[in-house]
Amino acid sequence: MEQLIIIRTNQPAKIKKFLEKEKVNYQVYDKPKKRKAEIEMFADYGEAIKDKEREEEIREWETAEIADWSKQEENDK
């Protein structure tokens, strides 16, 4: 019977050595790392939310977008 056992460790070499010694078939899954683009995006977002001028511009764009949706909805009727 095959089982899934998850082991979280900071010293994988010891466990791998033991499993290899015992001739145990195993697979290693590393924790995915955040991509550089994601990290930069969040850093940019952090700067943007501190900028009051950008905040006002976002509100204006959102208001314009809602107005466009309302017009489109009226035209669809």
User: Can you give the pTM of this predicted structure?
Assistant: 0.39
Place of tokens 């994601």: 38
What range defines the domain where residue 38 resides? 32-77
Residue 43 is assigned to a structural domain of this protein: yes
| Residue 61 is assigned to a structural domain of this protein | yes
Q: Give a yes or no: residue 46 inside a domain.
A: yes
| Residue 38 resides in a domain | yes
pLDDT score for 58: 80
Q: Would residue 17 count as lying in a domain?
A: no
Tell me, yes or no, whether 24 lies in a domain: no
Q: Which residues contact residue 12 at a Cβ distance below 8 angstroms, ignoring those fewer than 6 apart?
A: 28
DSSP state of 10: S
Number of domains in the chain: 1
27 within domain boundaries:
no
Q: What is the pLDDT of residue 20?
A: 93
Taking only the tens of pLDDT, the chain with its 77 residues reads: 788 888 888 888 999 999 999 999 888 887 777 677 777 777 777 776 677 787 788 888 888 877 777 766 667 66
Question: Does residue 12 sit in helix, strand or coil?
Answer: helix
What integer pLDDT is reported at residue 73 of this predicted model?
66
